Amino acid sequence: MQPPKDIFCMEADELLDIIEQSILDIETGKLIPDAINNIFRAFHTIKGSAAMASGLAVAAVPTIAMSTDLNNLPPHVPSWSQELGDGVDVSPYGTPSKFEKKVIRRTVPWLTATPESSVSFTPLAKLHGIITPNGLHFCRHHGGVADINYEDHRLIIHGLIDRELIFTMDDIKRMPSVNRIHFLECAANGGMEWRGAQLEALQFTHGMILKISG
Q: At what angle do helices 32-51 and 4-28 cross, to 10 degrees?
A: 160
pLDDT of 112 above 80? yes
Q: Name which of 54, 46, 52 is nearest 13 in CA terms.
A: 46
Please tell me the number of Cα atoms within 13 Å of 195 on its side-chain side: 2
Residues 133-181 pLDDT 10s: 989 999 999 999 999 999 999 999 999 999 999 999 999 999 999 999 9
CA 93 distance to own-chain centroid: 21
pLDDT at residue 11, rounded to an integer? 78
The mean pLDDT of the chain is 80
In one-letter notation, the amino acid at residue 140 is: R
User: Could you tell me the residue ranges of all domains in the chain?
Assistant: 4-81, 100-213
C-alpha span between 40 and 52 (Å, rounded): 19
pLDDT given at position 183: 87
pLDDT bucket at 126, cuts 50 / 70 / 90: confident
pLDDT band for position 70 (cuts 50, 70, 90): confident
Confidence class of residue 22 from pLDDT cuts 50, 70 and 90? confident
Asked whether residue 58 carries a pLDDT value surpassing 50, the answer given is no
- Cβ-based neighbours of 196, under 8 Å, separated by 6 or more: none
Residue 11's closest CA among 38, 51, 50, 37? Answer: 50
Per-residue confidence band for 19, with pLDDT thresholds at 50, 70 and 90 = confident
The answer to whether 56 and 8 have CB atoms below 8 angstroms apart is yes
Strands 154-157 vs 165-168: parallel, antiparallel or unpaired: antiparallel
Provide the residue type at 86 as one letter.
Answer: D
Of the two residues 161 and 4, the one the predictor is more confident about is 161
| Peptide bond preceding 133 in cis form (omega within 30 of 0) | no
Q: Is the pLDDT of residue 214 over 90?
A: no
Fold of 100-213: Sulfite Oxidase; Chain A, domain 2 (3.90.420)
Region 3-28 average pLDDT: 74
CA of residue 169 relative to chain centroid, distance: 33
Count other C-beta atoms under 10 Å from residue 206's C-beta.
20
Distance separating alpha carbons of residues 205 and 169, to the nearest angstrom: 35
Share of the chain above pLDDT 70, in %: 77
